[in-house]
Amino acid sequence: MIAIASATSSHAGAPGPDSSEPDPYDVPDQQDPPELDNATAISWDFPPRADASPKGQADPVKPAIVLDPSARLLKGSDASESWNLYVELESGHRITQQFLLSNSGPGDHNAVALGYLVEEGRAPYRYVNGRRRARWTLSKDRLFFDIAASHLDLHRPTGELRITKDDIEIRLFFDFAESDLARRVPSEVLPKNYQVEVLAIAAATSGTIHAPWMKRPLETRGRTWLVHTWTSRSEAELLDRRIEFYGHQNGTSFYGIHLRNEKSFRRAWLLSDSNASKVVESSINVPEDWLETSAANDHAETRSYPVPGQFTFSGGSLAGQITLGHEWLRFDPLAVLPQPFRWFVRRKTKPEQVWADARIGVRLSPALETPSLPNAGETESDSNSKRETEDKTAERSVTGVATITFFNPSERR
C-alpha cells in the first residue's frame, strides 16, 4: 500500500492529509490481466426528436466554446463526477485513466484515480489511488487534483497527467489551449441531469513513461482525449450502456458517444476535425437505418456483457460503419474500491468496462445540386458529373479505439 502523499504542486489550495491515521479508502496496487478475445462492438439506435436536423444530416456547425474543466463538487448521495483520459503514444503504448469523485458511501467527494498502461505482448498494468475527501488535495480554482501519487493538472494552455508511484511513473503534457477543439455534448443527446463535455480531442502530447519492466524512462509523443462528465443522479439509473470512440489518422481526429437506456433512451453524437476541412459536428438521428450485428465469436454470446461486432448507419447525406476488432482490456471498475464503499455502489450497479480496437468510417455528402455547366468546347459526361459529386463528399476513415461501459443496474436493495 502506498503511503499517503501531500500535495507537491504550487496549485494546491487545501491542507495536506494527515498520514498518521489509516484511510479505509486506500487501495493497493494490483495487476489483473483481463479476459482477451476478438469480440466487442458498438450499437447506435435512437428515437427521433422533434427538434432534430433533417434525417441523416449533420447539425449546423457551432462556434467553439471555451469550456470549464474544473470540479463541480456536486451535492447529493448519488452525485458523481469524472475526468476520463485516453492516451495513444507513438511508442505503441496506450493509457486509460480516470479521476472519479463520488458521494456514494460515507462522506462526500471521495476520490479514486484508476489507470492502465497497456503495452503489446504484456498484460495491462493497473495502478490506482483512492482517498477520502479530507485526505486528497484540490486547488482553490478546482483545476489541480492531487490524489496521493496520482495528479491531474487542467490549467491552460498545457494540461498534465502525472503518476508518481513507487512502481510506475508517468509524466505527460498535452495541449490544452482555449483555442483548441472542445465541445459540450448537446443536452438533447443526454438524459436529464447528465452533463458531458469533450475537453480535448487528439491533443498533441509529449513526456515520459517508466513501467516496472523498463530500465529507464521512455521519452515519447502521442495524442490525448479528455472527457468530463458529471451528474447528480446515479449513472446506473440513467443509463445501462455508454460507448465512446477515439480516433486519429492522417490529420483527422474523431470522437463519438452513444448512450442507451433500454427502457426509454437512445442517443448518439459525433465530432470530427480534419486539417483539410471544417469541424463536422452531428447529432445522429436515423432510427430505422442503423444495423447492429453480432461478433463472429461464440464466446461473445455466452458472456454476461455481450457486445456486437459491427454497426452500420445510413440515411440522407450521412452514412458510416464502425467495426470493432481486438479486445485488449476488460475489467470491473469497482474491483479497486475498498469496503464499505464498494458495497454502497454495488447496491445500484454492477459495471464492467471493455476497450477494443476500432475502424471508424463516416461519409458526409451535401444535398444533390444541379451540376455546373461545362466550359466552352467541353461536353457534359457521366464521369464529369460523378467527379463533381465526389469532390463535394467528405469522407473520414480512421483507426481508433472504443470503450464500452456496462452499468448493469441492480434491482437488489
pLDDT for res 233: 92
* Backbone dihedral region for residue 235 (phi beyond 0: left; psi -120 to 50: alpha; all else: beta): alpha
Q: What is the DSSP string of 160-211?
A: EEEEE-SS-EEEEEEE--TTS--EEPPGGGS-TTEEEEEEEEEEEEEEEEE-
CA distance between the termini of the chain = 32
Report the DSSP beta bridge partners of residue 171.
162, 208
Side-chain-side CA neighbours of 98 within 13 Å: the count stands at: 19
pLDDT for res 293: 76
Cα 104 to Cα 79: distance, rounded to the nearest angstrom: 8
The string of pLDDT tens digits covering residues 142-161 is 999 999 999 999 999 999 99
Report the DSSP beta bridge partners of residue 209.
170, 218
311 touches 291 (CB < 8 A): yes
Residue 123 grid coordinates: 498484460
Residue 357 grid coordinates: 480496437
Contacts for 121-126: CB closer than 8 Å, 24+ residues apart: 122/213, 123/31, 123/33, 123/34, 124/33, 124/34, 124/328, 124/329, 125/31, 125/168, 125/211, 125/212, 126/29, 126/30, 126/31, 126/32, 126/331, 126/336
What are the counts of helices (DSSP H) followed by strands (DSSP E) for the chain?
Answer: 4, 21
Question: What residues have CB less than 8 Å from 199, skipping those under 6 apart?
Answer: 67, 69, 154, 176, 182, 226, 227, 228
The string of pLDDT tens digits covering residues 351-403 is 889 999 999 988 766 543 434 444 444 444 544 444 444 445 667 789 999 99
Side-chain-side CA neighbours of 395 within 13 Å: the count stands at: 5
Cα 90 to Cα 108: distance, rounded to the nearest angstrom: 39
Q: What is the DSSP string of 68-131?
A: --S-----STT-EEEEEEEEEETTS-EEEEEEEEE--SSSS-EEEEEEEEE-TTSPPEEEEEEE
The string of pLDDT tens digits covering residues 280-310 is 776 654 344 456 677 765 454 445 776 767 8
Spatial CA neighbour of 341 closest among 130, 167, 197: 130
List, for the chain, all residue ranges whose pLDDT scores fall below the cut of 70: 1-65, 276-278, 282-292, 296-303, 306, 308, 313-318, 335-349, 364-394, 409-413
pLDDT for res 405: 92
pLDDT for res 289: 47
Q: What's phi and psi for 224, nearest 5 deg?
A: -130, 135
pLDDT for res 116: 97
pLDDT for res 45: 32
pLDDT for res 297: 59
Mean pLDDT of the chain: 76
3-state DSSP assignment of residue 4: coil
User: Which structural domains are found in the chain, ordered by start?
Assistant: 80-369+379-406 (2.40.370.10)
Cα 44 to Cα 193: distance, rounded to the nearest angstrom: 21
DSSP classification of residue 134 = G
